[in-house]
């Protein structure tokens, strides 16, 4: 089998980096090398990385680099023909790499393999968060699944062919990279057994920041216009319209809130009923209440972040046209 390099980026991840290193060292198929780019940690992350002795680890110091820049530097330095990408803040299943490499072993023409991620909640709030924002396997269409760079592998030649991760994006960079790979090489090999465990955000504040940044990235990258338009139309148009109709025409119009809420929350609640096993009923009641709050809070974060990204894109439109022309990416 071709040489395999696992790469990741970190910045101030001293609280989570050990779990990643431990799960890498416990892999049933060990990588030939691990390359981690540090974006300028000041919390002891670098010292923790340098102390690692179980893995063939190289650390690249890249102060000020964003995630895309860090990944590109790590991949450029990697010696492997196959690059497996993961991230700080996750825990890898012991067979993660073995499963992720399977398509490359079985079908030599494979260019990209997409792994999956599952929630790793530690508190009742995180269970509700996971149910609200993280998909289950049954929610996925494998032929159109865009893998997070928490769990993906590709040939280094594929990375070179599409120009690497887009360094002009601070968020959503992995999605644009996925689009470029798909456009160039076609559907990915989907490997749901290649699992990483991802801890949901532990507070509403951290969640707001995360989704604000995601939506800002959508605006910068010109992604999901219709989704964002529907969200604005619902909150700024339909919600006040139903309020006016229920107050001014007939109270039965308020049933629209119940119907809309049931449709909007049915998937999170379906996931919740599986995730809350083992928790006492008091926690379950709290989880039931947290789900709609998390859902609405996330929508507010997106509605705040998206126009900021759109404005950034408009201000940088000339430079972006040149970038798109140089990469050949039509998305």
38-50 pLDDT tens trace: 999 999 999 999 9
Res 153 pLDDT > 70: yes
Domains located in the chain, CATH noted: 4-198 (3.90.550.10), 204-327 (no CATH)
**By percentage, how much of the chain surpasses pLDDT 70?**
96
Res 331 pLDDT > 90: no
The whole-angstrom separation of Cα 144 and Cα 215 is 20
Rg (CA), the chain: 21
Q: Which residue has the tokens 């992995």?
A: 174
Q: What pTM was estimated for this model as a whole?
A: 0.90
Mean pLDDT of the chain: 93
Confidence label for 328 from pLDDT (cuts 50, 70 and 90): very low
Distances 116 to 45, 113, 174, 192, 303 between C-alpha atoms, Å: 26, 10, 14, 5, 28
Task: Work out the average pLDDT over 229-238.
Answer: 96
Q: Which two tokens stand for residue 200?
A: 């949901």
Res 311 pLDDT > 80: yes
CB 215, CB 301: distance < 8 Å: yes
**What pLDDT is stored for residue 22 in this prediction?**
97
Res 321 pLDDT > 90: no
Confidence label for 322 from pLDDT (cuts 50, 70 and 90): low
Give the model confidence (pLDDT) of 48-102 as tens digits. Answer: 999 999 999 999 999 999 999 999 999 999 999 999 999 998 999 999 999 999 9
Name which of 111, 214, 176 is nearest 323 in CA terms. Answer: 176
Task: Work out the average pLDDT over 15-40.
Answer: 96
Name which of 273, 235, 76, 253 is nearest 159 in CA terms. Answer: 76
Q: Which two tokens stand for residue 250?
A: 């007939």
Q: Which residue has the tokens 């601070």?
A: 170
């Amino acid at each position: 089998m071709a040489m395999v390099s696992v790469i990741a980026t970190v910045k101030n991840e001293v609280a989570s980096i050990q779990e990643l290193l431990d799960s890498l060292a416990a892999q049933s198929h060990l990588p030939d090398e691990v390359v981690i780019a540090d974006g300028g940690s000041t919390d002891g992350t670098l010292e923790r990385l340098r102390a690692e002795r179980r893995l063939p680890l190289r650390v690249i110091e890249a102060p000020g680099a964003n995630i895309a820049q860090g990944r590109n530097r790590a991949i450029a330095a990697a010696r492997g023909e196959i690059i497996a990408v993961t991230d700080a803040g996750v825990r890898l299943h012991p067979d993660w790499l073995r499963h992720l490499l399977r398509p490359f072993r079985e079908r030599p023409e494979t260019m990209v393999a997409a792994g999956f991620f599952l929630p790793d909640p530690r508190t009742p709030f995180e269970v509700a968060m996971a149910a609200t924002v993280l998909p289950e396997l049954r929610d996925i269409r494998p032929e159109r699944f865009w893998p997070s760079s928490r769990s993906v592998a590709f040939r280094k030649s594929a990375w070179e062919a599409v120009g690497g991760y887009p360094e002009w994006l601070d968020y959503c960079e992995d999605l644009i990279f996925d689009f470029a790979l798909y456009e160039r090489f076609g559907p990915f090999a989907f490997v749901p057994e290649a699992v990483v465990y991802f801890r949901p955000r532990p507070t509403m504040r951290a969640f707001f920041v995360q989704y604000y940044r995601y939506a800002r990235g959508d605006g910068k990258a010109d992604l999901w216009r219709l989704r964002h338009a529907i969200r604005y139309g619902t909150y700024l148009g339909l919600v006040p319209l139903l309020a006016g109709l229920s107050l001014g025409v007939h109270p039965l119009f308020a049933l629209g809130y119940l119907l809309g809420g049931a449709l909007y929350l049915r998937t999170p609640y379906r996931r919740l009923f599986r995730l809350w096993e083992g928790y006492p009923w008091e926690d379950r009641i709290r989880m039931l209440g947290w789900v709609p709050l998390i859902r609405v809070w996330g929508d507010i974060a997106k509605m705040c972040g998206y126009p900021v990204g759109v404005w950034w894109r408009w201000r940088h439109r000339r430079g972006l046209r040149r970038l798109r022309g140089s990469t050949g990416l039509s998305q």
